[in-house]
Amino acid sequence: MSATASDIVRRAYDAFRERDLDALTEISDPAIRISSVTGILSGRETPYEGVEALAEYVRDVLTIWDQIALVPEEFHDLGDERVLVFGRVRARRRQSEIDIPNAWLWTLRRGRVVSVRVYAEPTADARWLFKRRGGSR
pLDDT of residue 10 exceeding 90, the answer is: yes
Q: Domains of the chain: which residue ranges?
A: 5-132
Reported CATH class of domain 5-132: alpha beta
What number of residues does the chain have? Answer: 137
Give the pLDDT of residue 27: 96
DSSP-derived secondary structure letter, 94 = T
What pLDDT is recorded for position 55? 92
Q: Residue type for 57, please?
A: Y
For the CA atoms of 24, 48, 7, 84, what is the dihedral angle to 10 degrees?
Answer: 160
Q: Kindly report, residue by residue over 82-101, the tens digit of the pLDDT.
A: 999 999 999 998 888 989 89
C-beta neighbour count of 123 within 10 angstroms: 11
What pLDDT digit, counting tens, does each position of 13-63 carry?
A: 999 999 999 999 999 999 999 999 889 888 999 999 999 999 999 999 999
